[in-house]
Amino acid sequence: MVITTLADTLVRSVENVTDTVNETLFEPVIRLGVTGLARAGKTVFITSLVANLMDRGRMPGLVAAQEGRFASAFLQPQPDNTIPRFDFETHLNALTAPEPHWPDSTRAVSELRLSLKVQPAGLLSGLQGPRVIHLDIVDYPGEWLLDLALLDKDYVQWSREVLERIEDRPEATAFLQMLSGTDGASRHEETRAKHLASAFTAYLKAARGAGYYDCTPGRFLLPGDLEGAPVLTFAPLPAGDAPRRSLAREMARRFEAYKAEVVKPFFRDHFARIDRQVVLVDALGAIHKGPKAVEDMRRAMADILGAFRPGRNDFLTRLLMGKRVERILFAATKADHLHHSQHDRLAAIMAALTREARDRAQFAGATTEAMALAALRATTEHSGTHEGRVLDMVRGKLLDTGRQAAFYPGELPEDPNALLAPARDGAEAWLDGDYQVMNFAPAPLTLRPGEGPPHIRLDRAAQFLIGDRL
């Protein structure tokens, strides 16, 4: 029996070795991370990207497809047995049903393997058959990425910073009131801890709704299967005595457990293995919410970039051991809310935000790019007159009422600074008018054979993210 076990182990390790050799020599793997804060458009992006890689009729910007080198793309079982599979089929069914609807959003990490069969380019192209390249797409909430900053802090420092930040925010009133009646040195009681944690979570949710991005710990917003667990049952407390068995001592212990048992494993198991990354940003949503939301989005982008900067954090540096993400795309989603005459302006705003985030994070390393796209085009373009002026609008079915409507979101400035400068200076509202957003329902699709769902610049995004490896 010992011998069989031994032999079994041997065979397995040989299998493992051949697997690895196969992968590295013959079947390269690209791990593409897709992230962004809640509702940024991750689920729709992945669903449409995969569908459009399988049927490439609308992907002229993907060079390998344009050159006719793309033989096929097919889904395969993913290599990671413990990560939930991204539910591509259900999401695609939602978008392509006779009465289409938006799919359920990302709540936790998930993964999908799409294998691409591509004829190599260049001198050897005629001599070799097509190669298989595996694209492992990893979907994870951006909120979890922002937690990296927590690793540098202890509970007292974190509490101080959070309490300073939320002091004047109306969304925090209820939590702060509860806090004023709380003595951290008093004996720990679970009910009290729970009340504080749920009031703090309610604050985080309200702050998120109001457009703030600094809403960590990220799992408080998207707990996944940790809902109600002690690692999520803490809240910041003002500095003070923390004797044994006190509330403050227990809160500090849970904060450390959150770092060790939630944040670190995420970075180790998922983040550290990513080669290419797309960060989706609902920039139009933030512009609609106002200058504060835009400024906050800019900070969040810098924080996100900071996570991709090896050397910033000891834990991460050790974890990455010199490996780094090669390309990062910051993409403004839902560009189909704008007539194409305004797409360049949205892209310019995204580019300016990315540049500033790079400067702020003192980022050097990966190639970054900014873009405006729509993973699923839900509107058509329409020119109409309003108050005697001809306006470039978009038309679609409104999500709330189901009625068709034409929509003009406002005119984005040609110079991104017209938005970014007031945002940086802490303006309360935009000087020149308002920017509206509208929720459109996905339009019913009639797809011809070989065509994926309609999109805007998804092909260019794919070219930037993986085109060089095909």
Q: List contacts with ligand GDP (CB under 6 A).
A: 36, 38-44, 102, 105-106, 333-334, 336-337, 374-376, 378, 439-440
375 vs 462, which CB is nearer to ligand GDP? 375
The pair phi, psi for residue 311, each rounded to 5°, is: 100, -15
**In whole angstroms, how far apart are CA 26 and each of 23, 131, 133?**
6, 7, 8
Identify which of residues 138 and 375 has a Cβ nearer to ligand GDP in the complex.
375
- The Cα–Cα gap between 306 and 268 comes to 16
DSSP classification of residue 23? I
> In three state form, how does the secondary structure of 59-103 look?
CCCCHHHHCCCEEEEEEECCCCCCCCECCHHHHHHHHHCCCCCCC
Q: How far is the CB of 52 from ligand GDP (least distance, A)?
A: 12
Q: Nearer Cβ to ligand GDP, position 105 or 119?
A: 105
Contact 88, 46 (CB under 8 A): yes
Helix (H, G, I), strand (E, B) or coil at 113: strand
Give min distance, CB of 250 to ligand GDP, in A.
33
CB nearer to ligand GDP: pick between 373 and 420: 373
**Which one-letter DSSP state was computed for residue 38?**
T
Minimum CB separation of residue 100 from ligand GDP in Å reads 11
CB of 82 to ligand GDP, least distance (A): 21
**Is residue 400 within 8 Å of residue 360, measured between CB atoms?**
no
φ/ψ of residue 147, rounded to 5? -65, -15
Long-range contact pairs involving 411-417 (C-beta distance under 8 Å, separation at least 24): 411/342, 412/287, 412/338, 412/342, 412/345, 412/346, 412/349, 413/345, 414/345, 414/348, 416/345, 416/348, 416/349, 416/351, 416/352, 416/353, 417/352
C-alpha to C-alpha distance for 142 and 34, rounded to whole angstroms: 9
Least Cβ distance, residue 372 to ligand GDP (angstroms):
11
Please answer whether residues 199 and 262 qualify as being in contact, where contact means their C-beta atoms are separated by less than 8 angstroms. Answer: no
Taking the CB of residue 383, how many other CB atoms lie within 10 A of it? 11
Task: For the CB of residue 86, give the shortest distance to ligand GDP in the complex, in Å.
Answer: 10
Cα–Cα distance, 226 to 262 (Å, whole number): 9
Cβ nearer to ligand GDP, comparing 70 with 102: 102
Give 138 or 376: the residue with its C-beta nearer to ligand GDP.
Answer: 376
Closest CB to ligand GDP among residues 271, 363? 271
Q: Minimum distance from CB of 290 to ligand GDP (Å)?
A: 19
Smallest separation (angstroms) from ligand GDP to the CB of 190: 32
**Least Å from the CB of residue 361 to ligand GDP:** 22
| Nearer residue to ligand GDP within complex by CB, 327 or 337 | 337
Euclidean distance between CA atoms 381 and 339, whole angstroms = 6
How far is it, in rounded angstroms, from Cα 87 to Cα 42? Answer: 13
Indicate the residue among 351 and 378 with the shorter CB distance to ligand GDP.
378
